Structure 1
């Protein structure tokens, strides 16, 4: 699975013979053409550059790819790949420009632009589309979904809490087991950490270390699962809960305990709020009760109010009720952007602060999305034939939304936002509001060399500065 030549769609192998005679350079771009959210958080390209494009192809790769393609029934450009091996030591002669990672960009704008650097390899630009587009749309979409959740939670904290200090830990990544592969979990989980600091996806922690120099990008706490509670038997439920506090509780420590194995209301009213109340209050840390079944919009507010009936509450400066520091709640079942909004709205209506709850999100964060969530596409926009650049575009009469851009592109600051323009308009002539030297696309890769090395904290800061839309 490590052969870059085979990291493409089958039909791409025949495209080398389909371009016009004299074709020297092809320039293509990647954009989000629209979708669920009006902005995207660009993220993930650097991981792909380091993991895949920074490694050269070998003679063995070429021979394997040739054998596979012949048996598969598609052409193989052996002279083209031998040329890359002989002249570039196996590194791909392409140049990639992109917006800095973490940048929040309105949909409909260029995010990445790629072009071959050797006129003998005009076919190569489109050949890398499959791998390059996949490397970008997935982590960018996860980061975008995560950011939207952050915007929702932040709004309710601002409305119902004294401050938003807890925001980085309000949405925890529970998605590793539901991802299609470890690489997906790593990339998607890392994309979530652009916006939050809570995760149970260790693969994401390692990816952030490897590709973005993050010593520790996210954090977790000791937590129970149903097996560690039910193994004590129904008659041992109280002892199972007490064991969690005794093993992991203590001053300033946080421990989460799933409490719906049998009867969540009995667990709150009679176990946590009865037999174990004094243990919880005197431990010095925070118990996080986790319901894991039922209708979240109904369960969460009732659970919080029942905890308040047992542990008490205070009223904050904005008039909303807050549990004592020794107890909180996390909802990790049925969580998506829509249910987060609905839960917090119901809590607000009942006078409950968003401070009382955190969320865990799994499949909706890392899995229930696809390339069309934000309508990602990579399209050729210019070709140089015998030294002359020409526009390339599609304009299907049946779907104007798939109309593509023309020419070599640039991204510029304009009217407090960004806008895609033709690169030949960068001098500002005839383009109102355009600052001539402000192309937001920067060169990130050329001929096997990664030209940037964004650190994770810088990316987080860019994404945070972009927060304001959803």
Structure 2
């Protein structure tokens, strides 16, 4: 049967981990997909997604109210605005390539949906990332999530600022009683997401082992209580996986304490990390107040993300510069080079192949000569 865009259900276009993705404004590095244009939400697709997510998660996590709102108010068109650099532009790494912003405060959760990211809930259906709570309220974010999902396993990225403090102080002390009350069928799964994989896993296990008394299994290896586990996804490939498992064995930690996740590293390992590309929440509006949001893991300074509203400019010398925290509004370096390409369900800017070629041209001064 010939595939039609109308058959594609964008409500299901994400994976389990990336379901329910929040916030107002993000810097992202993926391309706009044509399947996001037009009427992409219908009653049939809402019902299909509701049934699939209920079966998959064994819990009612689907944001039916939010998608129904989009269907009724916008006739199924996505109320978001995407700004991007001209297609084909050669931009030095470390700069914003494009941004996504909700055009309706009721659809704050939709911005991350177009790519998928960390999932958490605030209030009834209100969503946001851990970093949107701010560093001083990381414990509150953790507590809210585990209370929202008491009967299913819940994996929480815990390295937004300091993974070791999160394990020792927040999980191991502040929220310890809540964790201990969970069942083996609904464990907290602590997720580190930066640093050297082996060193990080071993240190996390060591800290958790001091806070949550492990038992020794029949083989003589330590096992954390069934209500708490660890998952390592960052930097996992066939080699690091073996290193982590061997390291755990040497330190007498059972493999049943941990799960692993891996994406592009399972294939050719040409991933976004080669150029330090990422999709991060950088700005939210809470009760009418704008808040600059960023991630700053203690184990990996290179993963510190940009914060606030972002814009791309040329300096007087011709270099590209990304301005953070809305400083581009001052027009210190002229107009923003990010142009609106998608708005409220419509692709408003396209480029011909000749235009892409022209945009990709480099002048001699921009070509680095390696001897």
TM tier relative to shorter chain = 0.5 to 0.7
Q: What aligned pairs does 1:97-176 form with structure 2 within 5 A after superposition? A: 97-130=83-116
Partners of 1:5 and 1:62 within 8 A in 2? yes
Give the equivalent residue in structure 1 for 2:343.
446
Partners of 2:21 and 2:111 within 8 A in 1? no
Within the candidate set 338, 352, 355, 1:455 is matched to 352
Deviations 1:81-134 (A, max 9, x none): 110111111111111011011110000000010011111111111122239xxx
List runs of 5+ in structure 1 lacking aligned partners.
Answer: 17-24, 32-43, 132-365
Within the candidate set 32, 35, 40, 1:56 is matched to 40
Within the candidate set 269, 282, 286, 1:381 is matched to 282
Q: What aligned pairs does 1:293-372 form with structure 2 within 5 A after superposition? A: 369-372=270-273
Count of matched residue positions in the alignment of Structure 1 and Structure 2: 209
Deviations 1:374-398 (A, max 9, x none): 2321000110112111111111111
Partners of 2:85 and 2:337 within 8 A in 1? yes
Deviations 1:4-52 (A, max 9, x none): 1111122343456xxxxxxxx6110025xxxxxxxxxxxx835x1x243
Pair 1:426–1:45, CA change in 2 (3 A): same
1:457 is paired with a residue of what secondary structure? Answer: helix
The CA RMSD measured in Å over matched residues stands at 2.5
Within the candidate set 55, 80, 92, 1:71 is matched to 55
Give the equivalent residue in structure 1 for 2:127.
none
Partners of 1:30 and 1:111 within 8 A in 2? yes
2:73 is paired with a residue of what secondary structure? Answer: helix
Q: Is structure 2 residue 31 aligned with structure 1 residue 27?
A: no
Q: Is structure 2 residue 367 aligned with structure 1 residue 468?
A: yes
Give the equivalent residue in structure 2 for 1:411.
312
Pair 1:410–1:423, CA change in 2 (3 A): farther
Give the equivalent residue in structure 2 for 1:279.
none
Pair 1:391–1:423, CA change in 2 (3 A): closer
Deviations 1:332-357 (A, max 9, x none): xxxxxxxxxxxxxxxxxxxxxxxxxx
Give the equivalent residue in structure 2 for 1:91.
77
Give the equivalent residue in structure 1 for 2:294.
393
Pair 1:392–1:453, CA change in 2 (3 A): same
Give the equivalent residue in structure 2 for 1:435.
333
- TM-fit CA distance, 1:2: 1.8
**Equivalents in 1 of 2:17, 2:345: separation in Å?**
25
Pair 1:424–1:384, CA change in 2 (3 A): same
**Equivalents in 2 of 1:15, 1:376: separation in Å?**
18
**Equivalents in 2 of 1:451, 1:367: separation in Å?**
35
**Equivalents in 2 of 1:420, 1:455: separation in Å?**
26
1:465 is paired with a residue of what secondary structure? Answer: coil
Partners of 2:93 and 2:276 within 8 A in 1? no
**Equivalents in 2 of 1:424, 1:390: separation in Å?**
11
1:373 is paired with a residue of what secondary structure? Answer: helix
Partners of 2:37 and 2:345 within 8 A in 1? yes
- TM-score normalized by structure 2? 0.52
**Equivalents in 1 of 2:361, 2:20: separation in Å?**
44
Give the equivalent residue in structure 2 for 1:325.
none
Give the equivalent residue in structure 2 for 1:426.
328
Pair 1:469–1:104, CA change in 2 (3 A): farther
Pair 1:441–1:423, CA change in 2 (3 A): farther
